[in-house]
């Protein structure tokens, strides 16, 4: 992709005028710094609050006050089927059928629940492939799943590392490891986008490789959902889970989500941990013995929907429905490329961009590995009204989020960095 970018505020402002999504910014609340919006580049950690959240929250509080328990059926969004209102929007965002997705629980919980179904080691087939340096919660989840089944994590978990001197994990190396593990491999679990480097994995290619040796392929989409257009069903991905408080702007600890391919979701004999909310709706309140799973991913639900924890999700998904993930990605490619271009002009600071330089191998994130003074730079940024993310020992992650960031944000960020002596 060739762009002709320019280092000037005027250029950035012209790009903003040309941006068909520029008005979405006005729908969000930005933390303030000296009376103006912060440069908020932290949407990969916690997305911003949209202005409708408070209004929708009030609606739920009113319905609870007005109806009490009758709200399960009489509220404007009846709580009995509350989770169902998310499926259509989520299906578009992750590329699945409506029945293959469900909003429930939180990310690590969902990862455990899905591993209960998809990590069923027996005999020789007990190994798990994951990326080295995965998000700690994923490491803990997988390690304890392995222990629960009586295996030793050092033996059962195969970690794929970047080649010496690189920060990027090559798909070819993942394929080779999968092939080498062969029929000892039970499941591959990778982040769709690596949280640290921002590398986007070729999920289809990895899924094909996993299936070739008879293993399942699942993805943690924490940093991919709402960031990259996904096609989980067409890629034949077996399972996936995500959180909603990063690119999906659904608030701290907001409800997570899960995808289960219909092959398993529609198979009542496929093992899942059961609770009443996963039971067939017709017989749910009969209070009888014997779990009858409903169709699809919704059968992995255990408990009734945490309504107040889902309000911001509704507000956010409405915006995703309107903007569309394809248009968001188009803007994102340009915005991230512009920010990268600006960063490459700086000669006063010593850092390496460890995010892939090819736009199709990354999302809306750039990770700057500082060779010196990283923390100092981060503290100056904070003081000057930039909200970014610091990762030990020396990485600053920035996420220009297409839903609400603009080209002027990128330019302001560049100016602040440039002024650092």
Ligand X SMILES: *Cc1c(COP(=O)(O)O)cnc(C)c1O
Instruction: Decide: is 195 part of the binding site for ligand X (CB under 6 A).
Output: yes
Integer Cα distance of 325 and 163 in angstroms? 32
Q: Which stretch binds ligand X (CB under 6 A): 69-77, 130-138, 307-315, 338-346?
A: 130-138
The residue within the footprint of ligand X, chosen from 43, 47, 162, 191 (CB under 6 A), is 191
Residue (106 or 336) nearer to ligand X, CB: 106
Q: Kindly list the distances between the CA atom of residue 284 and the CA atoms of 69, 277, 293, in Å, as whole numbers in the listed order.
A: 17, 7, 10
Question: The tokens of 285 are what?
Answer: 């309140």
Q: Tell me how far, at minimum, the Cβ of 139 lies from ligand X, in Å.
A: 9
Residue (68 or 136) nearer to ligand X, CB: 136
269 CB-near residues (< 8 Å, 6+ apart): none
Q: Which stretch binds ligand X (CB under 6 A): 215-223, 228-236, 293-301, 334-342?
A: 215-223
Q: Tell me how far, at minimum, the Cβ of 254 lies from ligand X, in Å.
A: 9
Tell me if 146 sits within 8 A of 152, measured CB to CB. Answer: yes
Q: How many residues belong to the site for ligand X (CB under 6 A)?
A: 12
Q: Tell me how far, at minimum, the Cβ of 201 lies from ligand X, in Å.
A: 12
DSSP 290-328: S--B-SSGGGG--S---GGGTHHHHHHHHHHHHH-HHHH
Backbone φ and ψ for 36, nearest 5 degrees, come out as -130, 165
Q: Which helix (H) or strand (E) holds 127?
A: strand 127-131
Residue (113 or 342) nearer to ligand X, CB: 113
Virtual torsion, Cα 24, 29, 33, 37, nearest 10 deg: 10
Residue (180 or 303) nearer to ligand X, CB: 303
Distance of CA 359 to the CA centre of its chain: 18
Tell me if 118 sits within 8 A of 187, measured CB to CB. Answer: yes
Q: Which stretch binds ligand X (CB under 6 A): 49-57, 73-81, 132-140, 340-348?
A: 132-140
Q: Tally the residues of the chain.
A: 421
Instruction: Decide: is 135 part of the binding site for ligand X (CB under 6 A).
Output: yes
* Of residues 5, 2, 9, 91, the one with CA closest to residue 412: 9
Site for ligand X, residues 138 to 167, rule: CB under 6 A: 138
Q: Tell me how far, at minimum, the Cβ of 191 lies from ligand X, in Å.
A: 5
Binding to ligand X by CB under 6 A, coded x per residue (else -) over 96-125, reads: ----------xxx-----------------
Site for ligand X, residues 326 to 345, rule: CB under 6 A: none
- Helix (H/G/I), strand (E/B), else coil: 256: coil
Q: What is the DSSP letter of 46?
A: S
Residue (106 or 405) nearer to ligand X, CB: 106
Q: Tell me how far, at minimum, the Cβ of 387 lies from ligand X, in Å.
A: 17
Task: Name residue 187's beta-bridge partners.
Answer: 128, 216
Backbone φ and ψ for 378, nearest 5 degrees, come out as -60, -45
Q: Tell me how far, at minimum, the Cβ of 185 lies from ligand X, in Å.
A: 21
Instruction: Decide: is 363 part of the binding site for ligand X (CB under 6 A).
Output: no
Q: What is the DSSP letter of 359?
A: G
Site for ligand X, residues 283 to 322, rule: CB under 6 A: none
Q: Tell me how far, at minimum, the Cβ of 108 lies from ligand X, in Å.
A: 3
Residue (108 or 199) nearer to ligand X, CB: 108
Q: Tell me how far, at minimum, the Cβ of 45 lies from ligand X, in Å.
A: 8
Q: Tell me how far, at minimum, the Cβ of 128 lies from ligand X, in Å.
A: 15
Residue (71 or 251) nearer to ligand X, CB: 251
Question: The tokens of 334 are what?
Answer: 């340009």
Tell me if 44 sits within 8 A of 389, measured CB to CB. Answer: yes
Q: Tell me how far, at minimum, the Cβ of 76 lies from ligand X, in Å.
A: 28
Distance of CA 394 to the CA centre of its chain: 23
Site for ligand X, residues 219 to 248, rule: CB under 6 A: 220, 222-223, 243
Q: Tell me how far, at minimum, the Cβ of 367 lies from ligand X, in Å.
A: 13
Q: Kindly list the distances between the CA atom of residue 406 and the CA atoms of 41, 47, 347, in Å, as whole numbers in the listed order.
A: 10, 15, 24
Integer Cα distance of 34 and 92 in angstroms? 39
* Greatest CA separation for the chain: 71
Residue (91 or 241) nearer to ligand X, CB: 241
Residue (12 or 248) nearer to ligand X, CB: 248
Residues that bind ligand X (CB under 6 A): 106-108, 135, 137-138, 191, 195, 220, 222-223, 243
């Amino acid at each position: 992709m060739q762009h002709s970018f320019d280092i000037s505020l005027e250029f950035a402002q012209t790009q903003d005028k040309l941006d068909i999504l520029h008005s979405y910014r006005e729908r969000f609340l930005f933390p303030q710094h000296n009376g103006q919006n912060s440069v908020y580049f932290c949407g990969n950690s916690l997305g911003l609050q949209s202005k409708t959240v408070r209004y929708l929250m009030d609606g739920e509080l009113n319905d609870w006050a007005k109806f009490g328990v009758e709200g399960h059926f009489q509220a404007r969004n009846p709580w009995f089927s509350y989770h169902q209102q998310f499926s259509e929007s989520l299906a578009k965002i992750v590329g699945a059928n409506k029945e293959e997705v469900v909003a429930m629980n939180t990310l690590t919980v969902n990862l455990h629940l899905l591993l209960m179904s998809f990590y069923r080691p027996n005999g020789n087939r007990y190994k798990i492939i994951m990326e080295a340096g995965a998000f700690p919660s994923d490491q803990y989840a997988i390690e304890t799943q392995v222990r629960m089944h009586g295996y030793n994590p050092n033996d059962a978990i195969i970690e794929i590392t970047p080649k010496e001197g690189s920060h990027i994990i090559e798909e070819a190396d993942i394929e080779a490891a999968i092939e080498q593990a062969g029929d000892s491999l039970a499941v591959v679990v990778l982040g769709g986008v690596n949280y640290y480097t921002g590398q986007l994995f070729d999920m289809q290619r990895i899924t094909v490789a996993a299936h070739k040796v008879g293993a399942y392929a699942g993805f943690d989409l924490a940093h991919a959902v709402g960031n990259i257009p996904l096609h989980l069903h067409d890629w034949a991905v077996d399972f996936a889970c995500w959180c909603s408080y990063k690119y999906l702007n659904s608030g701290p600890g907001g409800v997570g989500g899960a995808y289960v391919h219909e092959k398993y979701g529609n198979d009542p004999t496929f093992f899942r941990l059961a609770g009443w909310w996963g039971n067939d709706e017709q017989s749910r309140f009969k209070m009888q013995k014997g779990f009858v799973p409903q169709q699809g991913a919704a059968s992995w639900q255990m408990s009734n929907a945490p309504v107040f924890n889902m309000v911001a999700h509704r507000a956010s998904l409405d915006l995703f429905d309107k903007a569309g993930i394809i248009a968001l990605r188009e803007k994102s490619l340009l915005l991230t490329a512009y920010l990268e271009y600006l960063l490459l002009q700086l000669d006063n600071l010593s850092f390496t961009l460890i995010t892939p330089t090819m736009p199709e191998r990354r999302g809306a994130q750039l990770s700057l590995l500082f060779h010196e003074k990283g923390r100092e730079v981060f503290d100056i940024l904070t003081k000057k009204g930039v909200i970014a993310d610091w990762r030990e020992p020396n990485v600053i992650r920035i996420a220009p989020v297409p839903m609400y960031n603009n080209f002027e944000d990128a330019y302001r960020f560049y100016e602040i960095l440039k002024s650092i002596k």
